[in-house]
Amino acid sequence: MKTLLYMILSADGFISQPNDAAPLSETAWKLYYAFVKERGNLVLGRRTYEQMRDDGSLKLLGEIFLVALSHNPVPRVVTASTPEEAVQLITEKGFTEAVIGGGSRTNTSFLDPGLLDELCLDTDHVLFGAGFPLFAQPTVLPNLKLLSSEINQGIVRTHYEVLK
């Protein structure tokens, strides 16, 4: 099982603003939905899940296998209490790649124990000025190997291997 962290970042490196809003370009969101739909699964932290549910963006992902990472059950969605359990649930559904989609604490919960194999980061052409970083105070900062870099419709995608 390969675990892949996939996120959209503002040009100044944030995944959302301090109020949890992520006013990214329509192009960035279209690329995000296409990426996740192609892989068929997504792991989100509870807060990110609830925000995407409430703003309607989860519906745009269509029929994917969604796991909410939370210590408490989340109504109407598969819930995992640990990153390892989330990966196990996705593996049991027959997927060979798990997509991790935030937020900062969830990303860190996969990074710190060495569960991330790759990072795929789309950088949008917007500035937030402040907000939530990709990781929330990680204790492990592994080296990365650039696998590819491309520009697609003004969005810069960088794809890294996490070196272990």
Considering the domain boundaries, does residue 121 fall inside one? Answer: yes
Domains of the chain: total? 1
- Output the pLDDT for position 5: 98
Considering the domain boundaries, does residue 117 fall inside one? Answer: yes
C-beta separation of 135 from 111 below 8 A: yes
Task: Report the chain's mean pLDDT, rounded to a whole number.
Answer: 96
| Nearest Cα residue to 10 out of 21, 24, 20 | 24
Question: Domain containing 55 — which CATH number?
Answer: 3.40.430.10
Considering the domain boundaries, does residue 3 fall inside one? Answer: no
What global pTM score does this model have? 0.96
Considering the domain boundaries, does residue 136 fall inside one? Answer: no
For the segment 20-50, what is each residue's pLDDT rounded down to a tens digit? Answer: 999 999 999 999 999 999 999 999 999 999 9
Considering the domain boundaries, does residue 1 fall inside one? Answer: no
Considering the domain boundaries, does residue 152 fall inside one? Answer: yes
For the segment 108-134, what is each residue's pLDDT rounded down to a tens digit? Answer: 999 999 999 999 999 999 999 999 999
**Which residue range is the domain that position 87 belongs to?**
14-127+146-156
For the segment 58-115, what is each residue's pLDDT rounded down to a tens digit? Answer: 999 999 999 999 999 998 899 999 999 999 999 999 999 999 999 999 999 999 999 9
